[in-house]
Structure 1
Amino acid sequence: MRLPARLQKSVRFLAAITLAAATSAVASPGSAAAPPARAVTVAGGPGSATPIAGFLIQSSAKVADEAAVSRPGYPAAGWYPVSPRSTVLAGLVQNHKYPDPFYSTNLRSIPEADFAVPWWYRADLTLAGGPDTRTYLDVSGVLSRADVWVNGVRVATSDRVVGVYTRHDLDVTDHVHSGRNSVALKVYPNDPNRDLTMGWIDWVQSPPDRNMGVVRDVVVRRAGPVALRDAHVVTSLAVPSLRHAELTVKATVRNDSAQPVRATVSGTVADRRVTQQVALAAHETRTLTFGTVGLDRPRIWWPAAMGGQPLYDLRLTASVHGRTSDTAGERFGIRDVRAPLNADGGREYQINGRPLLVKGGGWSPDLFLRWNPDYVSDKLRYVLDLGLNTVRLEGHLEPDEFFDLADRYGILTLPGFECCDKWEGDVNGDESGEPWTGADFPVAKASMAAEAARLRDHPSVISFLIGSDFAPSAAIEKNYVDALRAADWSLPIVPAASANSAPITGESGMKMNGPYDWVPPNYWYDKHPDGGGAFGFASETSAGPDIPTLDTLRRMMSPSELDTLWKDPAAKQYHSAPSWSTFSTLKIFDTALAGRYGPPTSLEDYVRKAQLAQYENVRAQYEAYGRNFTDASNPSTGVIYWMLNSGWTSLHWQLFDYYLDQNGAYHGAKKANEPLHAQYSYDDRSVVVVNSRHAVAGGLTVRVSLYNLDGTEKFSRTVTGLSVPGDGGRAVALTVPAVGGLSQTYLAKLVATDASGTEVSRNVYWLSTKADVVDWARNDWYYAPTSSMADLTGLAAMAPATVRAVTASVAHPDGTTTTAVTLRNTGTGKTPALYLDAHVLGTGGAPVLPVRWSDNAVSLWPGESTTLTATYRTADLHGARPSVRISGWNVPTVVVR
């Protein structure tokens, strides 16, 4: 994901000249329904806040009179109706102007020249209210600058409304009237190297409009003479007792009239009454601090795996002469976050006094920044299903609803600014982005102030990473820290996601050593100081490519592209990375796949081998960090898989694909992050049980067995009475000794049962007597080469296994359906059925997505059986009767009802 600093500027230039275009109108998870032809916002009285319901957009090349655009009655025939949050290209896709931009190279065919000029966004709105009602436009989320017009008057220029994260409270009272009004924004082309905005670095193919547009709500606010803003709660929790919390309410009151006024600001916080009177001179602004409210035995917010997610409300009303002038409020949670540096310099997060191993993934929005709450909710639910607790947002800071969902689901977030563009422009002598000018500092400070005010009350937010690949310079850091402190930011401030320091915030306690491309599974257990192995806090790291399922591949690539995918490792892959990127081919991954598993013989063979490779590698990454969390020396403290998901149809950096199908990477991560988990260590052959629950897990029995591929058992040992501490504690069950007679490729089965004999963890490995050897002498920033590879080619010769499958489906009143499939290895010999994967199918035999499986990608020995349960929305069957497709490494694919 990262390029050496000396190359970034030249790469950026190449990226600019290769931004060619294409996109589509096929419905996708990121898309929203087409908006009405004309969106009219009816704004209420004092205290109301009404988002503009949608816009009409058009290229400025087709507009002759700027002032006329924002006048009521403007003839907008031929303009495109778009959603209230929409980039230009997202709006054109929404209007079916292009074929599916996520298929093949369609994205490349959209003419970039169409987006080299500004585009207009206009909307009509109806206002009611008396003569004392004031009207404001709350404008944010502009990529990356705009002129704002109201009823033919330009009320703000692009040198003011600039920067995607800045927020603008525009008083337009003197420019509006009761009845029909019009608002227009002239949005200028987005340039991540010039403005403090959003870019895609090397994550994906950049959209040809570079996301020019408006991606957060434009809100019409109404108030009386006194406006109420910035209402928030500063919480302080007693740790470690958690028996008392103190709440301090703050708010800004502003008299926007020409006369002095006396206002009463009152309301409730956590159902406790607060009130204060204030006298304001004409046009005076004042910050109010209410008396501290104490809560005994407060309801504490926890990450999902650690407890509940209760939330409290703050509600305030400003009244003048007994009439409501304005209202404000926030929803907040009570929790304590600390992130000190340990003795080895790693940043260790603690939640409510308890240690936390951060296990997460890098978040990506939709490529066109389309907001679809159901789709985002589905992705966040996958985070929980994967056993993860955190998502990192490197730039692309999502709308408020994203953090509302994270609060509700108990998912921690690590927001921060992005690398490799203006945000890190020449701040430390590197060449990433353009140098800052004096005009950038106020925009940066306003961006931080707005994001701090937006995020500070969300309990899911646990810190802010003000830099990514580089820490800011002293001047820029002070600019940010001053804004954070002014916003009552009480959470840790981290100078960078890499191993950098800054004068105020100190050492980052994080590392960004890669890899970003394929490395062997045993890499993760190596604490080489230059590596991304399981020590410290790795803010972004993975073994690179994550090949989707065959269903998704056929949905996103043409037949000729699929042919090239498995035949030509050196070929540029459009769905891997931009052509200038280090990651534009799959050569490193494909070479390792052929070397370890054997050359692919077909597309199907390539995909099935890729799933095994991804499963073993992702599992090893999370397992290594889980095991080393409690190391006495240089422990692991956090790991962010790069990435959780991709913003479009991709071949790399994703635990699940754009369409929410689950591949080997998904199943490997979910297995590794079981709450009580038995695992094999690639470095010292120890079998360890890791307990992520709070309570001690006692009375466990662990059985370890090694098998040749014909099913012959070569080693077996059982350990009883094992006890494992909670909160990420571990216990070593045994160390596997040297075993004679093993085939070069062999299997290891680990089964842990509790005191009642119930299976609590089952884990199967395919291993080799020939080890992968990392060549650290040739380690590079994006991967570590191997001088020798494990030999797993024996898997190809495994005898077929026989599996019987029986399904049963039940539709529930809540709109979900549960499908259970019972699998039994009915073979009469010794051969196990390896890597059995189940997919629920609906209309036309397509996978039903999203879906949550109790378990998947399982292996069964003769006589063994298991029942896998899938839960999904009934509507996603589209009226079809559900069936289940079962496939396996050495089991023929079958579809059962």
Structure 2
Amino acid sequence: PTIGFVDWNPAPPDKSLGLWRPVKIRLTGEVSLKNPSVQAKLNTETLREASLTILAELQNHSDRPVSGILEAELEKIKISEEVKLEPKEIKKIVLSPENHQELVIKNPRIWWTHDLGKPELYLLIISFKTEVPTPPKGEKQKDKAQEAEKAGAQKTQDKVKEKDRDKIRMLPQFKALERVSDWQMVRFGIREIKDYLNEQGHRGYMLNGKKILIRGGGWTDDLFLNNKSKKLRAELLYAKHMNLNALRLEGFWGTSDEMYNLCDELGLLLMVGWSCHWEWENYLGQPTDPVYGGILSPEDIALIAESFRDQVRWLRNHPSIFVWALASDLVPKPELEKEYQKFLKEEDPTRPFLNSTGTKVSPVSGPSGVKMNGPYDWVPPNYWYEDKKNGGAFGFNTETGPGPQVPVLESLKRMIPEEALWPPNDFWNFHCSRGIFKTLDRYNEAMKERLGWPENVAEYCQKAQYLNYEGMRAMFEAFVSRRHLATGIIQWMYNSAWPKLWWQLYDYYLMPTGAFYGARKANQPLHLIYDYETREIIASNLAAVKTEKLKALVRVFNSDLKEKYRQEFPLELEPDGKQVLTRLPEIADLSEVYFLDLRILGLKGELKDQNFYCLSHEPDLLDFAQSTWFVTPVKRYANLKSLNLLPEAEVQYRWKVEGKGLVKNLTIDLENVSNQLAFNLEIRVLKKLREKSLLPIFLDDNYFSLLPGEKRTVKGYFYEDDLEGDELEIKLNGWKVKAKETNR
């Protein structure tokens, strides 16, 4: 049960049979070194001391006793122990701080997530050396095997990447009468992960002694399990760009350990564990238990326990992994969970485990402390604030989201034949998810009732990006503003295994959707947030440092852009701090649709954060009494249809590209030169001759609005080789916006 696509795309006909990770053969001497790991214990009070414990297994493959030296090199630290192995013996070795004071590290470089610090990494070289038998007296012939080993070591050392030289220092050295029987390199990070239960019994997580709000998405590998390195790196850089700090792997994804290595380097946390496809009969293909799933027999329990052990041994040195999920929707059978816990206690006590990612209670370890109560289909923005029983902003929601995220028109044209592009039909449904998520019915109803049904596919995609942005921003903002009552949120899903219309922050082709920029906006380190339930304006600082002295500006505009409310507030926030600035009062003579503009400014007036909401005098009304595991219905939709009556605005823009290396920096200056609102502006970065988007693209902002006369600068970057020798072109679209590029 390592992987499974469950219901988010078509199931592979062969059920993912076969070898889909590399098979390697290692050549060693008579003693092999296996399963090395480093366990770090950090003093979280001072962050100035860490204790390391090094574990490994030595196996004597010969028929004679073997004695040798186990050596461990960590930068300037070098320790060793004599080891004697009986014939065929397997021996577990522990190098501890109690026996080797050098393993107490002063002022360690600490691994942090990218939003809190630097993800520092160390490299350990561990080897086992045996003595070369002394040649008989008078023999002049050199030991050819010894010379070959020396040459092999030098050749290996020469292959080390230049960028790793400072970390590696040197490979195991060969002395005159020593033979290296086996050696391995282990990259690891010094960090401390703990879980806790808040006053309401919700489970949260701490990194290096600090409470963190888990903010991430659900990952999937490519449908054909052929993830390319370049695309993989781009996808993980997207997570960092969206200000996310975590990804959930429902399954032990990865055709190699490349993804885990990249997350270590980029400072992204990983939630790793079993998929729900072994818990339900329609996915597993055999009868299951409603409490414990499909792993029931002693034979299956033994097999899965061994599989779990192998996965953990493979991945446990990655500091990015913060929890092992022992089950997804259900809990393991008690006999199986006890096997899991026994192994983790012995071989990986450095991180917690979850008995389930659902709201379950295990007879072995008690309540999971997390929830998986939906929704999975479209809900309005206020849901995340108003819901108090299911998916709302409390506790740790391990998978949830506002349903479909239809991509932009360019991507839609790549996956659907031109003759089937409009109106939505079975070709569209083919690219939806499975089961009850096989259509866009609820999403389309929300679009029709809130925004008005579009006349063509281009208008549909424009309104879709508004729904995507609004819905995703609200979900993440609700959890950010209500931390640490809310302890975590995993958007279902993060990416796509194939071209689809559901559950994605960017599409299969790496094109960001409105949801991408809604997530980025909501997770800004310094941010102003509107609470749809209480009408409060909340200032949030997710960063690890105190803010400078700032000021917050809150304004409300009618649909004719007359200012109806204005208030300024001094602002200074502690690390991980938040503050309620005000509650919007009842404002007389508001139009049916009105706008809320929130800004954080420096003392000299420089813009630090901007957030713009389109609100209705009569908000969406949810029918909580009819809630199901996948959706809460809407009794009354907010009426935003007057957006279709906005007068045409005119926006002028110019742009430039700078940078001498592979990374090119893009600056786009925009100005609304009209007296109208330029609503929901979409910047497109294109390869001009090919007439297709330049991807991946990393813009600081998109799907934003400009007030009359407002100027805004949007920055971003891209990689030169992705331009493929083409010319760059910038286009600007908007909701009834006339865009004009001026001289650069």
User: Which residue does the alignment assign to 1:262?
Assistant: 67
User: What pairs with 1:230-269 in structure 2 (closer than 5 Å)?
Assistant: 230-269=35-74
Q: Say which of 440, 444, 448 aligns to 1:590.
A: 444
**Deviation of the 1:381 alpha carbon:** 0.5
718, 727, 732: which one aligns with 1:872: 718
1:769 aligns with 2:594: no
Q: 2: CA distance between counterparts of 1:821 and 1:670?
A: 18
* Residues 654-673 of structure 1 aligned to structure 2 (within 5 Å): 654-673=504-523
Q: 1:865, CA displacement in angstroms? A: 0.8
1:216 offset after TM fit, Å? 1.2
SS at match of 1:208: coil
Q: What SS does structure 1 have at the residue aligned with 2:666?
A: strand
1:7 aligns with none
592, 617, 620: which one aligns with 1:744:
592
Deviation of 1:892 (Å): 3.6
**Identity in percent:** 34
**C-alpha deviation, 1:364, in angstroms:** 1.0
Contact preservation (8 Å) 1:643, 1:655: yes
Query: What is the Cα deviation at residue 431 of structure 1?
Result: 8.3
- Note the 1:650-729 alignment, pairs <5 A: 650-719=500-569, 721-727=570-576, 729=577
Letter in 2 for 1:406: C
Q: Distance in 1 between matches of 2:288 and 2:12?
A: 29
Superposed displacement of residue 784, structure 1: 0.1
- Which of 493, 499, 504 does residue 649 from structure 1 map onto? 499
SS, match of residue 437 in structure 2:
coil
Structure 2: distance between partners of 1:275 and 1:238: 25
Moved more, 297-306 or 494-503: 494-503
Give the secondary structure class of the aligned counterpart of 2:419.
Answer: helix
How many angstroms apart in 1 are the aligned matches of 2:114 and 2:595? 34
Letter of the structure 1 residue corresponding to residue 660 of structure 2? P
**Equivalent residues of 1:449, 1:487 under 8 A apart:** no
Output the CA distance in 1 between the equivalents of 2:203 and 2:348: 22
Q: Counterpart of 1:276 in 2: which secondary structure?
A: strand
Tell me if 1:401 matches 2:258. yes
Q: 1:386 aligns with which of 219, 242, 247?
A: 242
Residue 483 of structure 1, CA deviation: 2.5
State yes or no: 1:312 paired with 2:117: no
The answer on 1:813 being equivalent to 2:680 is no
1:833 to 664, 678, 683: 678
Offset at residue 433 of structure 1 (A)? 5.9
Contact 1:534/1:625 (<8 A) preserved: yes
Alpha-carbon displacement from aligned partner over 1:45-98 (angstroms, at most 9, x marks no partner): xxxxxxxxxxxxxxxxxxxxxxxxxxxxxxxxxxxxxxxxxxxxxxxxxxxxxx
Residues in 2 aligned to 1:432 and 1:491: alpha-carbon distance in whole angstroms: 24
Q: Secondary structure at the match of 2:204?
A: coil
In structure 2, C-alpha distance between the alignment counterparts of 1:197 and 1:704, rounded to whole Å: 50
3-state SS of 2:605 partner: coil
Identify if the C-alpha distance between structure 1 residues 893 and 395 changes in structure 2 by more than 3 Å, giving closer, same or farther: farther
1:288 maps to: 93
Residue 890 of structure 1 corresponds to 736
The one-letter code matched in structure 2 to 1:820 is T
C-alpha distance in structure 2 between counterparts of 1:390 and 1:628, whole Å? 18
Provide the residue aligned with 1:75 in structure 2. Answer: none
1:824 aligns with 2:634: no
Per the TM alignment, residue 522 of structure 1 is displaced from its structure 2 partner at its CA by 0.1
- 1:485 aligned to 2:330? no
Give secondary structure in 2 for the equivalent of 1:479: helix
The AA in structure 1 aligned to 2:642 is G
Q: TM-score, normalised by structure 1?
A: 0.75
Following superposition, the deviation at residue 397 of structure 1 comes to: 2.3
Name 1:856's counterpart in structure 2: 702
Note the C-alpha offset of 1:304.
0.5
Any conservation in 1 of the 2:279–2:288 contact (CA below 8 Å)?
A: no
Instruction: Give the letter aligned to residue 884 of structure 1.
Output: I
Structure 1 counterpart of 2:270, which letter?
A: T
Decide which of 546, 552, 561 is 2:411's aligned counterpart: 552
Residue among 787, 794, 799 paired with 2:642: 794
- Structure 1 residue aligned with 2:140: none
Structure 2 counterpart of 1:23: none
Q: Is the 8 A contact 2:374 2:400 kept in 1?
A: yes
User: Any residues of structure 2 matched to 1:481-630 within 5 Å, and which?
Assistant: 481-529=341-389, 531-565=390-424, 573-578=429-434, 581-630=435-484
Deviation at 1:434, TM superposition (A): 4.4
AA in 2 matched with 1:726: P
For structure 2, the residue ranges without an aligned partner over 5 or more in a row are: 98-102, 132-177
Task: Look up the equivalent residue of 1:518 and give its one-letter code.
Answer: W
- Alignment partner of 1:818: what SS? strand
- Residues 648 and 895 from structure 1, CA distance in 2 versus in 1: closer, same or farther, beyond 3 angstroms? farther
Q: 1:513 to 1:384 in 2, by over 3 A?
A: same
Q: 1:894 to 1:603 in 2, by over 3 A?
A: farther
CA offset digits 1:550-601 (Å, max 9, x no partner): 1111111112332142xx5x987011123xx100000011001100001111
| 1:82-141 deviation per Cα after TM superposition (whole angstroms, max 9, x unaligned) | xxxxxxxxxxxxxxxxxxxxxxxxxxxxxxxxxxxxxxxxxxxxxxxxxxxxxxxxxxxx
Moved more, 415-424 or 853-862: 415-424
Contact 1:226 1:263 in 2 (8 A): no
The Cα shift of 1:609 comes to: 0.7
Residue 205 of structure 1 aligns with which residue? 10
User: SS where residue 340 of structure 1 aligns?
Assistant: strand
Question: Distance between the aligned counterparts of 2:92 and 2:235, measured in 1?
Answer: 39
Query: Is 2:321 the partner of 1:461?
Result: yes
User: 1:302 aligns to what?
Assistant: 112
Q: How many angstroms apart in 2 are the aligned matches of 1:518 and 1:275?
A: 60
3-state SS, counterpart of residue 439 of structure 1 = helix
Q: CA deviation at 1:539?
A: 0.2
Query: Structure 2 length as normaliser, TM-score?
Result: 0.90
CA contact (8 A) 1:253 1:285 kept: yes
RMSD of aligned residue pairs (Cα, Å): 1.8
Displacement of 1:469: 0.4
Q: Distance in 1 between matches of 2:722 and 2:736?
A: 30
CA distance in 2 between counterparts of 1:505 and 1:348 reads: 16
Q: Distance in 2 between matches of 1:422 and 1:732?
A: 43
Whichever residue aligns with residue 414 of structure 1, its letter is M
Counterpart Cα distance in 1 of 2:428 and 2:241: 33
Q: Hey, what does 1:276 align to over in structure 2?
A: 81
Q: Summarize the alignment of residues 416-495 of structure 1 with structure 2, pairs less than 5 Å apart.
A: 416-421=273-278, 429-430=289-290, 434=294, 436-495=296-355
Supply the distance in 1 between the matched residues of 2:702 and 2:95 (Cα, whole angstroms): 53
CA positional deviation for 1:282: 1.1
The residue aligned with 1:328 is 184
Paired residues of 1:465 and 1:494 also in contact (CA < 8 A): yes
The letter for the 2-side match of 1:318 is F
Q: Name the CA distance, whole Å, in 1 between partners of 2:593 and 2:221.
A: 40
State the alpha-carbon separation in 1 of the partners of residues 288 and 542 from structure 2: 40
Deviations for 1:824-848, whole angstroms, at most 9, x for unmatched residues?
A: 0011x2x111111111111422110
What is the correspondence of 1:88-127 to structure 2 with a 5 Å cutoff? none
Structure 2 counterpart SS, 1:592: helix
Query: Residues 596 and 789 of structure 1 are in contact (CA less than 8 Å); yes or no, is this contact kept in structure 2?
Result: yes
Secondary structure of residue in 1 paired with 2:321: coil
Question: Which residue identity lines up with residue 562 of structure 1 in the other structure?
Answer: L
